[in-house]
Amino acid sequence: MNSNKTVLITGATSGIGFELARLFAKERYNMILVSRDIEKLEETAIILTNEGASDIIIIAKDLAVWHAAAEIYEITRKRGIKIDVLVNDAGMGEFGYFSDTDLEKELDIIQLNISSVVHLTKLYLRDMIKGRGGKILQLASVAAYQPTPRLAVYAATKAFVLSFSDALGAELRETNVTVTTLIPGATDTDFFHKAGMEHTKAAHHTEDPALVAQIGYKALMKGEAHAFAPGVRQEVFKSSLLPNRHVAIMAEKQMEEEDDSNED
């Protein structure tokens, strides 16, 4: 790879991850793109090359598999690639009452949303500290502040990401490594389709992923601890004033089916 800085992005082929990748491409970063789908990775690499990215390496790995994070790290280590920026964007959810949902899928969610984030962060953070600098962007959610019925496991994983990232940021305050947590609300991505919740109220009131990515990117470059998508800061403040049980009841209302009777 050339001498430009290098960013590694998981979940790089769609949604917020893709929009973040476009922002890095415009700044001529070298890019390591990670996703499960090799065809989408190839398509994304072409788009990003046309938008200004320098060298691009694609890695097709499923981070819901426990050894994938270590394999990704080994690929970059063996090539002698220094990662300047790590973006842990990949994530998924499962919609439904916990007593009814699929256990195996939820264990995969925990692996993807928590374990792979911890694993990649641990491996690349050590290199960043040795190299005396780096930036890490973690994807949380407004659900990190809101126990969310019918999305219980997903919300809990995002609460972990937020707490983990805040603690890590405090540990690193005397270093040149920063940790930024992007906290979106409902965003217009394929998350709702994959989670099986396209017909919920939350899915009908979404933010533009390009705008969310821009907010996260700016905060990351400044080394800020948190980046809130539009409206999220107010939701977080409101949640902080109420007992968790009441917050959960409010969150559950967003999981209800949207009434489309007035639509054409």
* Cβ–Cβ under 8 Å, residues 125 and 136: yes
Alpha-carbon gap, residue 42 to 60, rounded angstroms: 10
Mean pLDDT throughout 94-120?
97
What pLDDT, on a 0 to 100 scale, did the predictor assign at position 244? 76
What pLDDT, on a 0 to 100 scale, did the predictor assign at position 264? 42
Alpha-carbon gap, residue 179 to 182, rounded angstroms: 10
- 174 burial type by CB count under 10 A (0-12 exposed, 13-18 middle, 19+ buried): exposed
pLDDT digits (tens, 9 = 90+) for 22-42: 999 999 999 999 999 999 999
pLDDT(198) > 70:
no
Average pLDDT over the chain, rounded to an integer: 90
Structure tokens belonging to residue 197:
């919740």
pLDDT(194) > 50:
yes
Answer yes or no: is 230 within a domain.
yes
| Residue 138 confidence class, pLDDT cut points 50, 70, 90 | very high
Structure tokens belonging to residue 160:
């972990």
What pLDDT, on a 0 to 100 scale, did the predictor assign at position 203? 60
What pLDDT, on a 0 to 100 scale, did the predictor assign at position 120? 99
pLDDT digits (tens, 9 = 90+) for 204-223: 467 899 999 999 999 999 99
Answer yes or no: is 171 within a domain.
yes
Mean pLDDT throughout 50-63?
97
Active-site entry in 73, 145, 154, 217: 154
- Is 154 a residue of the active site? yes
What pLDDT, on a 0 to 100 scale, did the predictor assign at position 188? 63
Per-residue burial over 67-85, b = 16 or more CB atoms within 10 Å of its CB, e = otherwise:
ebbeebbeebeeeebbbbb
Mean pLDDT throughout 74-94?
97
Structure tokens belonging to residue 139:
């994807």
What's 148's domain CATH number?
Answer: 3.40.50.720
Answer yes or no: is 244 within a domain.
yes
Q: Which domain holds residue 210?
A: 6-253
pLDDT(124) > 60:
yes
| Residue 12 confidence class, pLDDT cut points 50, 70, 90 | very high
Answer yes or no: is 169 within a domain.
yes
* Cβ–Cβ under 8 Å, residues 10 and 120: yes
Of 35, 32, 108, 120, whose CA–CA distance to 70 is shortest? 120
pLDDT digits (tens, 9 = 90+) for 223-236: 999 999 988 887 77
Which residues, other chains included, contact 190 with Cβ-Cβ below 8 Å and sequence gap of 6+? 14, 15
Mean pLDDT throughout 56-81?
98
pLDDT(50) > 50:
yes
216 or 191: which leads in pLDDT: 216
Handedness of CA 226, 231, 237, 240 (dihedral sign): negative
Alpha-carbon gap, residue 90 to 35, rounded angstroms: 8
Answer yes or no: is 262 within a domain.
no
Structure tokens belonging to residue 148:
């969310």
pTM of the model: 0.90
Looking at the 3D structure of the chain, how many domains does it have?
1
pLDDT(249) > 70:
no
Answer yes or no: is 264 within a domain.
no
Kindly provide the residue ranges of all beta strands, DSSP E only, lying in 80-195, ordered along the sequence.
Answer: 85-88, 134-139, 177-183
Answer yes or no: is 1 within a domain.
no
What pLDDT, on a 0 to 100 scale, did the predictor assign at position 263? 45
Of 147, 222, 224, whose CA–CA distance to 182 is shortest? 224
What pLDDT, on a 0 to 100 scale, did the predictor assign at position 36? 96
Q: What letter would DSSP give residue 11?
A: S
